[in-house]
Amino acid sequence: MCGIVAVHDPVSATGPDLDLGRAMLDRIGHRGPDGRGERAVGPTWLGHVRLAIVDLDAGDQPLGPADDHWAVVNGEIYNHRELRTVSGLHFASATDSDSEAALAAAVAGDLEALADLRGMYAFVVAHPDGRVTAVRDPLGVKPLYWARVDGATYFASELVAFDPAMRTRVEEFPPGHRWTPEEGLVRFRSLHVPSTQITDRDAALTQIRETLITAVRRRMMADVPVGVFLSGGLDSSLVAAIMASFADEVPGPVHSFAAGTAGSSDLIAARRVAEHLGLEHHERVYDADEVVSVLPDVVASIESYEPSLVRSAVPNYLLAEATAPVVKVVLTGEGADELFAGYAHFRDIVDAPDLREALIDGVSGLHNLNLQRCDRVTMAHGLEARVPFLDRDLVGLAGRLPIEWLLPGELGQEKAILREAFTGWLPDDLLWRPKEQFGDGSGTADVMLERAAELAPEDDWADQRVSRLAAPRSREELAYQRMFADHLAGIDQRVLGRFATA
């Protein structure tokens, strides 16, 4: 996990602007506290800040020379060892870094080679003949932004990296695409692939359980201790239970981390789960004053002002801050609600095709919402978050389930089929605990509502508007917009798209 910057300038007689590239990299230094590297390759400059997790000694970047091809990679390729032996890709470098699989796939130039990469990634490769390749994973788990200005193309992991003068030109790089100057954007893998529906419910329960177990074990790959963000809800508790069952596969004990206001339901439930599983548990308890004081940092880190995203980001941010000194990698429960219809608003959709479409839209839009929040609040503290529910196989499996199996069961409980699949893995009262939004269960939402008037006290808040941003929908949103504008001068609503207004 890292931060990357690239400048590709084939038109300037003096080559890429190294000082500009270095300034961009400075702005995202928080993403890589363990190292920094750069390399100029013809018309391309590559910059990288590293969070060392795999191949600690030899995994520095830019990665190369692979026959003089060089790469900067952000993310993890979970099947890199398999690809070394069965893919036919040429691994020219002499490291054990998982990022070599990304470099090898880009050098091959084959869309199928990119499609075979399993993991979360965004990377840029500079080729010896002056070409450049940029790639982002199909779900957009890892961020990538770009701007094209006067014949040059700039890439970075976060919006803040870009010089204020070019921020009106910044766009989100689309998930599941490869870009080269010669071919432009080309999709290399679709997120949702039509396939045969499962008809045997017992078989489905087995497949759900086995697929999630495999996804969690893949994401336990690390040369450093790992942990889990544990809210006490179903999704993170299942991840924790699987990690506890395979604890011998990671260095040291499995650590769990929970956050909330004193006495909040999340803290109580997480404590019980951790005790049941024998995890090494850590808590971050905070009060209303801490929530309000940290808000500008939270809004700046998530690069969004959407109120529900901010509310859920506050406990995540404080939790990541407390987690980073203990471990470098955490697994989370992101994505389960989109796959298995966990949100309350899905209950209002009575037509099966409409619900299916809503679930597809939910998964497809995660890169602008919860995945953005998850990446930013963790990387603000040099911490890597991994999302096993969004494993390719589990996303595909969820799409094969009959839609009626995703509706509340006899107990009226959301995600009933996921709960059934893991019967016996947790005490029943925890396995069937009703869902709460993270901001609610942690007690943060109550604090935010209480203090909203202090955040934007003007009586005429509805007439207020921050330049370039959408009209605020509430006093709370106006306050976050002002914090956002202080951090990202020049960013407009066109650049933000739906991830600021969903």
- Known binding-site residues for L-glutamine equal 98
Q: Provide the strand spans (E) within 242-390.
A: 255-261, 280-286, 329-331, 384-386
Q: What are phi and psi of 16, to 5 degrees?
A: -65, 150
Could you confirm whether 2 is annotated as catalytic?
yes
The closest alpha carbon to 480, from 231, 348, 306, belongs to 306
Q: Are 6 and 63 in contact (CB under 8 A)?
A: no
Residue 227: beta bridge partners?
255, 330
Task: Tell me which residue has tokens 């269960």.
Answer: 441
CA distances from 477 to 303, 305, 469, 499 (A): 14, 7, 11, 14
Nearest to 122 by CA among 372, 461, 369, 323: 372
What letter would DSSP give residue 110?
-
Spatial contact of 433 and 269, defined as CB atoms under 8 Å apart:
yes
CA distance 166 to 161: 10
- Contact of 277 with 230, CB cutoff 8 Å: no
For residue 442, report the phi and psi dihedrals to the nearest 5 degrees: -80, -10
Contact assessment for residue 470 and residue 500, using Cβ atoms and an 8 Å cutoff = yes
Q: Which of 2, 72, 331, 383 is catalytic?
A: 2
Radius of gyration of the chain from Cα atoms?
22
Angle between helices 392-399 and 201-218 (to 10 degrees): 160
The string of DSSP codes covering 294-325 is HHHHHHHHHT---HHHHHHHHHHHHHHHHHTT
The 255-261 sheet, strands edge to edge: 280-286, 255-261, 226-229, 329-331, 384-386
CB atoms within 10 A of CB 494: 10
Which three-class secondary structure string do you get for 318-335? HHHHHHCCCCCEEECCCC
Quote the distance between the C-alpha of residue 390 and its chain's center.
10
Helix count (H) and strand count (E) of the chain? 19, 17
Cite the DSSP H helix spans in 48-98: 80-86
Which residues have a catalytic role annotated?
2
